[in-house]
Structure 1
Amino acid sequence: MKTLQASARPATRAWLAVVAMAASPLLASAGDLSATYRGKPVTFGQGQAHTEVRTDNAGKVAAISIVLSEQALTGLPAAKMAPAYLLRMPAKGPRTVVDHVVINWEAAGHPPPKIYDVPHFDFHFYMVKRAETMKVRFNSDAESADPGQQPPAELLPAGYILPPGTAVPKMGVHAINTKAPEFQQQPFTATLIYGYYNKRQTFIEPMVALSFLQSKPAFSAPMERPASYSKAGSYPSSYSVSYHPDSKSYEIALNGFQ
């Protein structure tokens, strides 16, 4: 190599310089670990739904999301069927605090009346295994207000409460944000719920009105975060609801992991 450099003609040196310049972007991109990992799709309405995990250029989790094809909002079941759709996390990529996702389609909404009694989706990002959620039992929906279900203060974000009427079998108890717009006499569009069972955090739940999704939004909002979490790991600081015209899909995402 020393001989080549010593004897290289000017034209040869120029060619080598061009090769080196062309190679440098490739070397820079080789260190970029950003990627998108997709879970196995499931049938949803007349379309499909799947999970996604996106990483930043350092390979750290940047977003965990649910993606619905445009056709997923049509052909949804009637209220009396109240289906739940289980979505598995991607088989490849980094492990996250989210174990699995369940989408509950609420064709007629649910209590409280005049707030969440419109057609909407409950997007449950569970931090516990599916077998554990299936064992969740309550004698009454009022048990969410019982002392035995109230988590330590450090696990509950500021402004959130666990009122009676939010204990749901095979889910948990639902903590609501009393500062959310829908509790300030504004229409419900999208909101963020935290879920618990036996004083432990078990899920994070964006709830989104069907009409809001159909409006093809570009919505993002910060999340109130608790002082600590039951499960060690990185957690989101914001969530978003958006429509992507290029792929004709809707995305409900947890973002800003810290």
Structure 2
Amino acid sequence: MAGATALATLGAGSALAEGKAAVYDGKPVKIGQGTAHTVVRTGADGAVSAIGVVFTESMLDGLPVAAPGTSPHFPYVLSMPTKGPKSVIDHVVIDWESVGHPPPQVYDVPHFDFHFYVVSREEVSKVRFNGPDDSAAPEQQPPAELMPAGYILPPGTAVPRMGVHAINPAAPEFQKQPFTATFIYGYYKKRLTFVEPMASLEFLKSKPSFSAPVPRPAKYSKSGAYPSRYRVSYDDAKKVYEVMLEELR
């Protein structure tokens, strides 16, 4: 699976079956000097066991840099596999934050936001705000059962064509530790619209083998299987990275 040619072949939606277990791949998208694509994996029972993004090592090279006065934010839309079982995820957007984003001293380093949307692209295009602080407005605050315990939705996290971002203030990056990887929940008008692993460029280049539990809310706005764990890892044999939502239930 080294190189874009092999990924393009894999990305055609092929399934590698072993019994009932299978892997379904979405169409590769060029990012940097490499490619990224979505993946849905099923277990021996045929049920979806993991949802994620796989990208080549070369994706981290040749990333765009914003010209003076232009946006340092670069989004890349990834479609879900056309074959195989459907999951709760409608599409994925990899956002390359070339200079990071607020809050300062936390996420203001080059990093990737992996937005796994549970709503359609059309719905995302209709997300509107008057300003970043709209995330604190009552009409944006989701009911308690849709928020994981310990998460908060502070002002300053409303982003048009995206949503408002709920953070975990107990996460290491809010305890004066360097930001490596974290997990965010996103909402719009009180509904859950995305789940979001984040990872810094520096952390990815360290070729990590990282996994952590995902705090879960009591309920979800859309029925389906959601992650209890997420993983950010590098496969040295295949020379690819994986950002996966796992232990779905």
Partner of residue 42, structure 2: 55
Partner of residue 202, structure 2: 211
Q: Distance in 2 between matches of 1:62 and 1:246?
A: 22
- Aligned amino acid, residue 52 of structure 2: S
Partner of residue 70, structure 1: 57
Q: Does 1:152 align with 2:143?
A: yes
Partner of residue 25, structure 2: 38
- Aligned amino acid, residue 141 of structure 1: P
Q: Deviations over 1:44-74 (max 9, x none)?
A: 1000000000000001111101111011000
Answer whether contact 2:72 2:97 (CA < 8 A) is retained: no
Answer whether contact 1:220 1:240 (CA < 8 A) is retained: yes
Partner of residue 19, structure 1: none
**Deviation (angstroms), 1:32:** 2.6
Q: Distance in 1 between matches of 2:226 and 2:100?
A: 28
Match of 1:191 among 172, 177, 182: 182
Answer whether contact 1:32 1:58 (CA < 8 A) is retained: no
**Deviation (angstroms), 1:131:** 0.5
> How many corresponding residue pairs?
229
What is the SS of the residue equivalent to 1:212?
Answer: helix
Partner of residue 226, structure 1: 217
Q: Distance in 2 between matches of 1:52 and 1:46?
A: 20
What is the SS of the residue equivalent to 2:223?
Answer: coil
The structure having more radius of gyration, on CA atoms, is 1
Q: Distance in 1 between matches of 2:75 and 2:81?
A: 19
**Deviation (angstroms), 1:82:** 2.2
**Deviation (angstroms), 1:208:** 0.3
Q: Does 1:180 align with 2:132?
A: no
- Aligned amino acid, residue 120 of structure 2: K
What is the SS of the residue equivalent to 2:133?
Answer: helix
Q: For the structure 1 residues 218 and 149, does the alpha-carbon distance in structure 2 shift closer, same or farther, using more than 3 Å as the test?
A: same
Partner of residue 11, structure 2: none
Unmatched runs of 5 consecutive residues or more in structure 1: 1-29
RMSD: 1.1
Judging by fraction of residues, say which structure has more helix.
1
Q: Distance in 2 between matches of 1:245 and 1:155?
A: 38
Q: Distance in 2 between matches of 1:130 and 1:186?
A: 35
Unmatched runs of 5 consecutive residues or more in structure 2: 1-16
What is the SS of the residue equivalent to 2:245?
Answer: strand
Aligned pairs for 1:115-126 (under 5 A) are 115-126=106-117
Aligned pairs for 1:79-90 (under 5 A) are 79=66, 80-90=71-81
What is the SS of the residue equivalent to 1:118?
Answer: coil
Per the normalisation by structure 2, the TM-score is 0.90
- Aligned amino acid, residue 147 of structure 1: P
Q: Does 1:96 align with 2:83?
A: no
Partner of residue 131, structure 2: 140
Q: Following superposition, which runs of at least 4 residues in structure 1 exceed 2 angstroms of deviation?
A: 79-82
Q: Distance in 1 between matches of 2:201 and 2:208?
A: 11
Q: Distance in 2 between matches of 1:94 and 1:204?
A: 20
